[in-house]
């Protein structure tokens, strides 16, 4: 049981550490000068998410209309589209 819990804790910590570098949100663009344009255009049934972090960096990304726009400043200014079931977990 202890081995299983240790392996699970290690897997979660490694996956969270790699989120910002490995997984960019769809259409994500960042700028400190102003609101950037997303890297692709917004299609029907999608929405543009915008967020300004405390360091002045502005980020835009694209999500499905039903998905929440999620951001975590504590995880190196990580942004993503949430789940319709679990929200921003």
pTM above 0.85, yes or no: no
Which tokens in the block code for residue 22? 């490995």
How far, in Å, CA of 35 to CA of 9, rounded?
37
Structure confidence at residue 24 (pLDDT): 74
What residues have CB less than 8 Å from 4, skipping those under 6 apart?
Answer: none
* pLDDT (tens digit per residue) in 11-44: 444 444 444 444 678 889 999 999 999 999 999 9
Least confident interval from 7-16, 18-27, 49-58, 63-72: 7-16
């Amino acid at each position: 049981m202890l081995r299983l819990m240790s392996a699970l804790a290690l897997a979660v910590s490694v996956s969270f550490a790699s989120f910002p570098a490995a997984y960019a949100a769809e259409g994500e663009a960042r700028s400190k000068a102003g609101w950037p344009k997303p890297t692709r255009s917004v299609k029907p049934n999608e929405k543009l998410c915008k967020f300004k972090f405390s360091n002045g960096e502005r980020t835009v990304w694209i999500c499905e209309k039903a998905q929440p726009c999620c951001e975590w400043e504590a995880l190196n200014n990580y942004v993503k589209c949430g789940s319709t079931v679990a929200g921003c977990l």
